[in-house]
Structure 1
Amino acid sequence: MRTVLEPHVDAANRLTRRWCDVAADGDFVISGAGLWPLLALMASAAGGPARAELEAAIGMPGTAAHSAALRLLETMDDAVDLSAALGAWVNRGLALNDEWLSSLPAGTVDLLTDQAALDAWADQHTRGLIKKFPLRIDHSTQLVLATALVARTTWREKFRETAMAPESGPWQGSPVAALSRTTSRLGDAAILDGPHPVTRVVVQGTADVDIHLLQGPATPAGVLATGLDALAGAVDVRTELPVGTEGPGLTVREEISLRNSPQLRLQLPPFDVRSTHNLCDTPLGSLFGLNSAQTSGHHFPGISTSPLMISQGAQEVLARFTRDGFEAAAVTAFSMRAGSKPPPPTEYRVTVCTATFDRPFGFLAVHRPTGLVIVAGWIASRPAEHRPTQREQSSATGSAGPAWQRHHPKPATPQPHPAPLQPHPAPPQPLPPPPHPAPPQSPFGPALAPPAPPTPTRRPRPEPTPQPPRPPAPPWPPASDSPTTPLRRPPSPPRPPWPPYAP
């Protein structure tokens, strides 16, 4: 990690550090890299007290601020896992200075039309992570300046989803969702020797964006400040951690392992944090040098001959850490109005470094080649409860016992024989046929009864013909001279000895 930062990168990181000092203790994420270019552009075009306040906020004179802002945006846009964009929208009735207009990159300035156009710009330049522009415009809006950045990377070595049960701290209790992995890169873990020790673990992306995980006993501002100071070389970074070293959430010991290499075991909860910041609010307005620029007056003569003042400032930013990678996006904007209106190997003894982030921790998304902090944040909320998967549930209930029992289950316990079946009930007897109705009486005399049906006669069964008695069966096995053994062969003569005897 480089310790000599370029001036514009160092200035943006120092702004991020001061912003972390006034951030809340709960979950938050900020992007000084998205804010600093806008403050620098406005400082280069400001005049009077507004210029002095903005110069103090960005940490450099206004004469160098314009080129530094464009250079920082170019640095981010030329990265592999990071991109940035600058946008300016002008009311049709506002005349801009030609010199300021020509100093902006081609395609930056457009007419201010409606809110939908701004929302579409934010959605496009954050790859769909932020759908809405953070500011609402109205008929009084004369100028809008905005930056958008997006970082998206995948891990060189993936995590697996698991659970952890913190034994102490504000997250102790039932198991929570977690990510875990084991690598051989012990150098990714370090102890930062700041005012209070801070454990840092670097999770490398596949290209040029890394995530620095930070944990320590100090306040969120103190932990993040130590992590930012380490990027500038202001604190010692100890990556050589001998056996027996301990730090916040970190232990180094010797174990018996199936891998013949050192191991770095990392465990932390996934997180998804989103923040919206009012940049003109009381604490932030002073920090960013916006107090004078929000009053009526002609504060930006470098932009237009018409008086302009800042009316709104906001940032929408998010960060996600998942099993497969990390993504972050930020849209930062200021609006101005007229100033006139206010396989099992051999076992080995290896060094194992275990880092567990089971309590509130901070993070920095860092552009590796330059050391620019893209976003910084703090995770304070307790992670979601761990929900066991179906496989875990089956393992917990059915995997007890040795492995051979799991792969070859015991036969089922024999069940007692069922009771014998009851015989079928006799079929119901058919009902007797109804009697024939009496024939009707004839007027000419009694009716004749119908003739009775003839009674069938059976033919007599013939008597069986007597058969002569069978002779008795011969004994078994039969004798050798029995006539019932016609296939028996006569005995063979004895064979001569072999080999024949020679006298």
Structure 2
Amino acid sequence: MAEQIEKVLPGAEVRRLAERWLPHLGRGEADFACSPTGLWLALASVAAGARGDTAAELRALLGVAGEEAAAAVTEGSRALAGTDALAVATGVWSRLPVYRAFREALPDVGFGPMDPGAIDAWVDRATGGLVPRLPVQLTEEVQLVLVNALALKARWDVPFQASATRPKPFTDASGRQYEVATMHGPVQPGSAYDVTGTGGGEARVVELACASPGPGASAKVRFVLGAPGAEPAEVLPLAWAPVERRRRIDADTVRIALPKLSLRSTVEAVRHLQALGVRQAFQDSADFSALSPERLAVSQVVQETVVKVAEQGVEAAAATVVAMRYGSAYRPPEKIEIIEYDRPFGIVVLDGSGTVPLFTAWQAEAPAADG
């Protein structure tokens, strides 16, 4: 499964996008959640209709554009759907004509007329209710909207015992301390390790396995605890660092103390993408001439992401929206290690191969158990 996903979905490009995007999502004083995979799939879908300089800029960011982008979106989405409990869907709604060739190049994408109520209902269904509506307002200016939805609802292979959840201090990024509901439990052998980044940063990682009810691979959820004061852009990518940079924790038994949490955030990504070199797509002169006979430019790129962690499992969902407007011009004594997530830490949900970052999040403030 890992080789299949890497072959059809440019996992290295998704990771590269994540590593370039994360520094723009805020410093370590604030919580956030995002989906690098959701952003990549949404932008690559739009890039399938790009030409000229617009396509070149998107290709520089995503690794694909034009026909190869359409193929990567289609085959990659199908491969990701092989991860148990993960749903992947993309839809396009428009007020203007969309080329038949563009629609046929994306056979798994649904197309329909602009209908805000229907789009909200689709987003609600596609995310399992975690994102109940489109995170943008569809004004009359919006001529086309593309939405990618990812949703994961998975049970832990070994759930935490609710009776072991109890208040424990958590020190937030500003140094304030709070009592938060914290789960406690053992970690499977080999699922906890230290990792070193290419820049010399280090982190302690615990991977919790999700149950696999079907034939697909289960998602992998890694909790990443960096050095005190480390920024999320330094810490989160260590969740997908290669095996050769990992070191086994020298302990006979490893236990984890992990806060229950519920994170929800909305990210407006246009400024981020412009800073990463994608500028032509937002200008009146944008070239999406393989998408529609009308001149189009991107007006908004917005993503709403939810990540919830509790005793029984993990839920995560993201809706990524690309809105388009008219362009112009158009063990002997037993050694026990307790890994306590009692200060800011990262959460990364990967696909079944453990190589594609589906969701990332940073818990900087006192965790809320529901939201």
- TM-score with structure 1 length normalisation? 0.65
Match of 2:353 in 1: 369
**1:112 and 2:100 aligned:** no
Confirm or deny that 1:264 pairs with 2:268: no
Contact 1:73/1:84, CA 8 A, preserved across alignment:
yes
- Per the alignment, do residues 341 and 272 of structure 1 end up closer, same or farther by CA in structure 2, a change over 3 Å counting? farther
1:146 is matched with which residue? 147
Contact 2:172 2:366 in 1 (8 A): no
Structure 2 equivalent of residue 216 of structure 1:
226
Instruction: Assess, with a 3 A threshold, how the Cα gap between structure 1 residues 171 and 187 changes in structure 2: closer, same or farther.
Output: farther
Which position in structure 2 is the counterpart of 1:198? Answer: 203
* Partner-residue secondary structure (3-state), 1:306: coil
Q: Distance in 2 between matches of 1:368 and 1:220?
A: 23
Distance 1:356 1:107, change over 3 A: closer
Residues 171 and 344 of structure 2 are in contact (CA less than 8 Å); yes or no, is this contact kept in structure 1? no
- Give 1:353 shift: 2.4
Give yes or no for the alignment of 1:48 onto 2:52: yes
SS in 1 for 2:128: coil
Shift of 1:221: 1.1
Classify 1:164/1:49 alpha carbon distance in 2 versus 1 (closer, same or farther; 3 Å).
same
Q: Give SS of 2:79's match.
A: helix
CA distance in 2 between counterparts of 1:209 and 1:162 reads 27
Q: Aligned partners of 2:286 and 2:232: how far apart in 1?
A: 39
Specify the SS of the correspondent of 1:105. coil
Cα offsets for 1:80-125 (capped at 9, x unmatched): 210110101121xx22222112222256111112x21111010010
Q: Which amino acid aligns with 2:222?
A: H
1:136, distance to aligned residue in structure 2 (A): 1.5
- Tell me the distance in 1 between the aligned counterparts of 2:14 and 2:238: 16
Check conservation: 1:170, 1:382, Cα contact below 8 A: no
Give the number of equivalent residue pairs.
353
Counterparts of residues 421-500 of structure 1 (less than 5 Å): none
Match of 1:164 in 2: 168
Q: Give how far 1:149 is off.
A: 0.9
Gaps of 5+ in 2: 213-217
SS in 2 for 1:238: strand
Larger-Rg structure = 1
Deviations, residues 28-85 of structure 1 (Å, cap 9, x unaligned) = 0110111111221222321222111111110245442221111221122232210110
Q: Deviations over 1:168-213 (max 9, x none)?
A: 9856646432111124x23111000221221000011112012101
Residue 293 of structure 2: aligned partner: 305
Which is bigger in relative contact order (C-alpha 8 A, separation at least 6)? 2
Secondary structure in 1 aligned to 2:308? Answer: strand
| Structure 1: distance between partners of 2:310 and 2:91 | 30
Render the CA deviation track for 1:124-144: whole Å, top value 9, x for unaligned: 101111111012212232211
Q: 1:384 and 1:87 mapped to 2: Cα distance?
A: 32
Contact 2:54/2:286, CA 8 A, preserved across alignment = no
Larger deviation, residues 329-338 vs 134-143: 134-143
Alignment of 1:90-129 (within 5 A): 90-91=94-95, 94-105=96-107, 108-113=110-115, 115-129=116-130
Task: Provide the C-alpha distance between the structure 2 equivalents of 1:196 and 1:137, rounded to a whole number of angstroms.
Answer: 43
Higher share in strand: 2
- Residues 56 and 155 from structure 1, CA distance in 2 versus in 1: closer, same or farther, beyond 3 angstroms? same
Q: Residues 169 and 49 from structure 1, CA distance in 2 versus in 1: closer, same or farther, beyond 3 angstroms?
A: closer
2:37 aligned partner, one-letter code: A
Residues 307-365 of structure 1 show CA distances to partners (whole Å, capped at 9, x for unaligned) of: 111122211111011111110000011111221288xxxx9733322211111001100
Match of 2:310 in 1: 322
Whether the 8 Å contact between 1:170 and 1:359 is mirrored in structure 2 is: no
* Corresponding position of 2:363: 379
1:189 to 183, 188, 192: 192
Structure 1: 5+ residue runs without aligned partners? 243-251, 253-261, 386-503
Distance 2:361 2:368 in 1: 19
Q: Deviations over 1:186-245 (max 9, x none)?
A: 3111000221221000011112012101011132211112223x1x45x61112x33xxx
Instruction: Return the alpha-carbon distance in structure 2 between the equivalents of residues 283 and 122 of structure 1.
Output: 24
Match of 1:359 in 2: 343
What secondary structure does 2:289 align onto? Answer: coil
What CA distance in whole angstroms lies between the structure 2 residues aligned with 1:278 and 1:168? Answer: 25
**Aligned partners of 2:170 and 2:45: how far apart in 1?**
47
| One-letter amino acid of the counterpart of residue 168, structure 2 | M
> What is the Cα-based RMSD across aligned positions, in Å?
2.6
